[in-house]
Amino acid sequence: MKLARFDRGTDKGRIGIVTGSQIVDVTEAAGVDPAEWPPVGPVRLLAEFDRLRPALERAAAAGTPIDLAEVTLLTPVPWPNKVIAYPVNYHAHGAEMGAGYRATNQGFFLKPNSSLSGAGEPVILPETPGREVHHESELAIIIGKGGRNIAREDWRDHVFGYACLLDMVVRGREERVARKAYDTFCPVGPWITTADEVPDPANLQMKLWVDGELRQDANTRDLVLDIPGMIAMASAVMTLYPGDIIATGTPEGVGPVQGGQTIRITIDQCGEMNVPVVQGTGGSTEIFADPYQLVKKS
């Protein structure tokens, strides 16, 4: 199943099931109130999915399909407990960045919920003169069943599904979270593909283009810390909850984007996002007052 969240005209924050190029509204069957604040309905949906799935399937079969071109796709889980991200989790990316560490011995960091956006929304660049904003293509793992101290061999029991993710970053040496925390710096989508439709997440091809130029092309089999390891490591430190998002790290080929460009990311079995980049008018801060230029290692 491909589970999405979308706007259509004045109808905001709806839940839909995607089939091909169409989506069917199943908000009522999902038990989600789009007007609820904070918007935790999608988290409850994931937590109660096994119970709700038959009703969702019936609603999808009986509903009226809507062309995806008529809706705006939003981030599927707007209010997760946390977004967990693993840095330098591909050897080739570590080499290009000159990083002497890897995710296996560095651990993870957290991105704020407010950085989340959807496939139908733009990345808005902050005003950071002298700094580049880079794209980082990643696989998103969405947790469906919470837990603490999850054993490697039990990881599948806790995964709801997968999605495409962009981890945008102001390049520099300052604290990683500050450079990755801007609003719209974590597009996720275009929907969540449930785990039963992704039989081998350790063998997914991921590609990223900017204005048609292929920049990143890698396979999840090349991850340094694999998916079972990421779930085990994160849950050893903190409880995972339904709706939590794990960003698995980016491969080599990261590079700058500018306003007016379009980022395209595809991941096998997970879908495709075409995200416009817009130059914003805010976000200036003394954190990034000093210029910085990345010198990639050959």
| pLDDT over threshold 80, residue 97 | no
State the pTM of this model.
0.95
Helical (H) or strand (E) element with 179: helix 176-180
Helical (H) or strand (E) element with 65: none
- Which pLDDT score is estimated for 291? 92
List the chain domain ranges: 2-74, 83-281
Report the percent of the chain where pLDDT is more than 90: 91
pLDDT digits (tens, 9 = 90+) for 42-58: 999 999 999 999 999 99
Question: How far is residue 178's CA from residue 176's CA, in Å, rounded to a whole number?
Answer: 6
Query: Could you report how far apart the first and last alpha carbons of the chain are, in Å?
Result: 42
Report the percent of the chain where pLDDT is more than 70: 94
CATH number belonging to the domain at 83-281, selected among 2.40.50.140, 3.40.50.720, 3.90.850.10, 3.30.70.20: 3.90.850.10
**Is the Cβ–Cβ distance between 56 and 42 less than 8 Å?**
no
Which of these ranges, 99-103, 214-218, 221-225, has the smallest mean pLDDT? 99-103
**Is the Cβ–Cβ distance between 142 and 245 less than 8 Å?**
yes
- Which pLDDT score is estimated for 106? 82
Which of these ranges, 57-66, 91-100, 198-207, 256-265, has the smallest mean pLDDT? 91-100
Of the candidates 118, 133, 109, the residue with the CA atom closest to the CA atom of residue 234: 109
| pLDDT over threshold 70, residue 101 | no
- Which pLDDT score is estimated for 98? 65
- Over range 1-5, report the average pLDDT: 98
3-state helix, strand, coil in the chain (%, to 5): 25, 35, 40
Backbone φ, ψ for residue 256 (5° rounding): -80, 155
Question: How far is residue 166's CA from residue 184's CA, in Å, rounded to a whole number?
Answer: 10
Q: Please count the other Cβ atoms lying within 10 Å of the Cβ belonging to residue 244.
A: 26
